[in-house]
Amino acid sequence: MENQTTTPKQIMLNYGLILGFTGILLNVALFAMGKTYDPHWSMAIIGIAITVAIIVLGIKKIKELNGGFLSLGEALKTGLGIALISGLVGVAYTLIFTNFIEPEYFTRMADVQEQAMIEQYPNMSDEQLETSLAMASKMSGPVMASAMNIIGSLFVGFIISLIGGLIMKKTDEEITSI
């Protein structure tokens, strides 16, 4: 039997899939509770905490593979890889959700946004409201939602990887300079 070694790509794939499917579970829970259009702020905190934990665990696993050594570049590459895989899983879920589970999602979300604008800016004229809604409609839809999902995942992944990598960084140069 061959001795199988874990590669950085496998770690990125595994942790990215875990993060992606965890995000799906959170979204399914919101849908089941009827909070898809108005989630509680605590769900965002839970999502961020899970994202931080999974990316940091993935970076830690890379550090273990390297015998306790980790460069900032390796941490960034790993975290961005995990975030990208997670973002792609999220895009797949969003497309399935908006096409099959909740086909009226973007229409209903536009209604929710319109109501929020009316409540938040009661002195807004009808013309200003129409202009704002027209701009919001250009920024919605499956393509834009997919792009924003991936960009958001990569941005958050970069920040978490940068901070985690700076904290966990340990290179040969640090040891020889002591």
Q: What is the pLDDT along the chain (178 residues), one digit of tens a residue?
A: 455 688 999 999 999 999 999 999 999 999 999 999 999 999 999 999 999 999 999 999 999 999 999 999 999 999 999 999 999 999 999 999 999 999 999 999 999 989 988 899 888 888 998 998 888 888 888 999 999 999 999 999 999 999 999 999 988 765 565 5
Report if residue 152 sits inside a domain. yes
What pLDDT shows up at residue 19? 98
Distance CA 166, CA 173 (A): 15
3-state secondary structure of 33: coil
What pLDDT shows up at residue 98? 95
Backbone CA torsion sign across 57, 59, 60, 66: positive
> Strand locations in the chain, DSSP E?
none
Within 10 Å of residue 66's Cβ, how many Cβ atoms? Answer: 14
Six-digit token pair at 161? 């990887």
Q: What is the tally of structural domains in the chain?
A: 1
Six-digit token pair at 90? 């999220």
Report if residue 82 sits inside a domain. yes
Phi, psi of 37 (to 5 degrees): -95, -15
Report if residue 126 sits inside a domain. no
Distance CA 110, CA 11 (A): 39
Quote the pTM value. Answer: 0.91
What pLDDT shows up at residue 140? 87
What pLDDT shows up at residue 175? 59
Percent helix, strand, coil in the chain, to 5, is 80, 0, 20
Report if residue 20 sits inside a domain. yes
Residue where the block lists tokens 């975290």: 79
Six-digit token pair at 74? 């390796």
Report if residue 90 sits inside a domain. yes
* Domain carrying residue 153: 8-102+146-173
What pLDDT shows up at residue 1? 45
Phi, psi of 40 (to 5 degrees): -70, 150
Report if residue 130 sits inside a domain. no
What pLDDT shows up at residue 174? 59
What pLDDT shows up at residue 57? 98
